[in-house]
Amino acid sequence: MTKWLASIQSLDEAKDLETCLPDILDLKDPSAGALGALAIDDINAIVRWLDKRCLSSATVGDLMMKSNVISPVIFQWAETDLDYIKVGLFEDIELENCLVQLKATLYTAPKPVIAVIFADQSYPDDIVDLVKQAGFVGVMVDTAEKNGQSLSSHWSAIDIQRFVKSANDKGLICGLAGALRIEDIDSLALTGADYLGFRSALCPDRQRINHLDVSLAIKLEKRLAEFKLAS
């Protein structure tokens, strides 16, 4: 059954969601890029407060596609009590080489790592295969440019379904995100994705750097429940 992920930027936002915790609480700094990273102390404080009441994940930041840059951050994040670590794979001539070099890290890291690709960037046709071969446990799609355009602005329904099927066929956790709206639940509910990710839909005026509004989270959860997606 498809679950939902809420991205939060602070302990205060996490506490705001106490009565409607998502299946995955995702920690990121939206003011620092597509996958901006929170400080490690903030991550530890949020995870401590959460106390395993739901799963948690955190992004490592918008990093260069170099294994010697990414690997140390993965191991640093793995020292926390996070359930998942998320690494962005950005369009880059060095991407495929980086994935090969990350293999040793991903197979030895003490925490599972999920890859994030971007619907508004270009990748090799076999990117999901490359993600699997590198040792990631999952793959999600997001948008890199936070300009109001959503996942469906860049990918057709067929593209989305093909991505989900490819991930599912390879045994990867699969997530869909990218300025998703509450209304997008209707079309994404039957894709077979493992989770749907939300940030701007939880913020006033859909501005992802604004403080989360719990009333929007409750509205979203109710809509998800209609499709039996919310826990």
195 to 55, 79, 108, 122, 168: CA distances (angstroms) = 12, 25, 25, 23, 12
> For residue 24, is it within any domain?
yes
Q: Residue 146 — very low, low, confident or very high, per pLDDT cuts 50/70/90? A: confident
Marked catalytic residue, from 15, 52, 86, 219: 86
Average pLDDT over residues 204-217: 93
pLDDT in the model for residue 227:
73
> For residue 188, is it within any domain?
yes
> For residue 181, is it within any domain?
yes
pLDDT in the model for residue 136:
99
Annotated active-site residue 28? The verdict is: yes
Q: Which is nearest to 37 in space by CA: 69, 68, 4, 67?
A: 69
Please state the domain count of the chain: 1
How far is it, in rounded angstroms, from Cα 117 to Cα 143? 8
pLDDT in the model for residue 216:
95
Q: Residue 224 — very low, low, confident or very high, per pLDDT cuts 50/70/90? A: confident
Q: Residue 226 — very low, low, confident or very high, per pLDDT cuts 50/70/90? A: confident
Residue 170's domain comprises 3-226
> For residue 231, is it within any domain?
no
Mean pLDDT, all residues of the chain = 95
3-state secondary structure at position 187: helix
3-state secondary structure at position 26: strand
Marked catalytic residue, from 28, 103, 170, 219: 28
Residue 41 has pLDDT above 80, yes or no: yes
How far is it, in rounded angstroms, from Cα 148 to Cα 143? 10
Cβ-based neighbours of 90, under 8 Å, separated by 6 or more: 62, 65, 118, 121, 144
Q: Residue 231 — very low, low, confident or very high, per pLDDT cuts 50/70/90? A: low
3 to 19, 68, 175: CA distances (angstroms) = 17, 33, 9
Burial status of residue 171 (CB atoms within 10 A of its CB: 0-12, 13-18, 19 or more): exposed
β-sheet bridge partners, residue 113? 85
Residue 228 has pLDDT above 70, yes or no: no
pLDDT in the model for residue 2:
85
Determine what percent of the chain is predicted with pLDDT higher than 70. Answer: 98
Annotated active-site residue 228? The verdict is: no
Cβ-based neighbours of 187, under 8 Å, separated by 6 or more: 152, 157
How far is it, in rounded angstroms, from Cα 43 to Cα 65? 23
What's the CATH code of the domain at 16?
3.20.20.70
Are 106 and 134 a contacting pair, CB within 8 Å? yes
> For residue 158, is it within any domain?
yes
pLDDT in the model for residue 22:
96
Residue-wise pLDDT for 50-62, tens only, equals: 999 999 999 999 9
Q: Provide the token pair at 190.
A: 């039957």
Q: Provide the token pair at 41.
A: 């102390």
pLDDT in the model for residue 172:
99
Q: Residue 45 — very low, low, confident or very high, per pLDDT cuts 50/70/90? A: very high
Q: Which is nearest to 39 in space by CA: 12, 15, 58?
A: 58
Average pLDDT over residues 72-98: 98
Residue-wise pLDDT for 121-140, tens only, equals: 999 999 999 999 999 999 99
How far is it, in rounded angstroms, from Cα 94 to Cα 67? 10
User: Which of 23-27, 93-97, 175-179, 208-212 shows the lowest per-residue confidence on average (mean pLDDT)?
Assistant: 208-212
